[in-house]
Structure 1
Amino acid sequence: MKLKISSTWVLLVVMGLTLPVKAANSDHIRRLLDTNTCPSCDLSGANLSGANLSRANLANADLRFADLRNANLSYADLRGANLNGANLNGANLQGARY
């Protein structure tokens, strides 16, 4: 019985590790970096570390698990944005609206 439970557990863990991860839309990343505006964009998992996004319009954007370390988000519009799991270590959020 114990072997059966262990085998099932290992199988579930391996299957969980191979599930596809949703990645950010590369067109949306380019749009944000070029225009500083991308409301309702899919930026989930995006690497935006160190990006200058001051005054960016990111309202309702999907920023789940985005890497925003040391990004400048001062005065950015983050209202309605999903930031679950996003890394904001060292990010400048002065005056940001959320």
Structure 2
Amino acid sequence: MDYEEFQNAVDSLGILTKLDQKSLKKNYLKLSKKYHPDAVDGSDEKFREINEAYNLLKTYVENYKFSFEKEEFLEQYPSFTNYKNWNR
């Protein structure tokens, strides 16, 4: 997989922001239902494109490596920066 292929997959599924696995699957199911060949607006080509995009992005997400560094944590969970003050 190269970045262009990755970006095309992101565009095919209409992803605009950060997404978790659950949201990725939800987005995929919505689009696959819409473009299923048996649906009114269905298209074999678009359905195939969505399936390929989902499989590529699912593989990427499943194989993502985490660094467990403070910077990555704060980027992923910015609301946790003041967690020590929650009980006050």
The TM-score normalised by the length of structure 1 is 0.29
- TM-score (norm: length of structure 2): 0.31
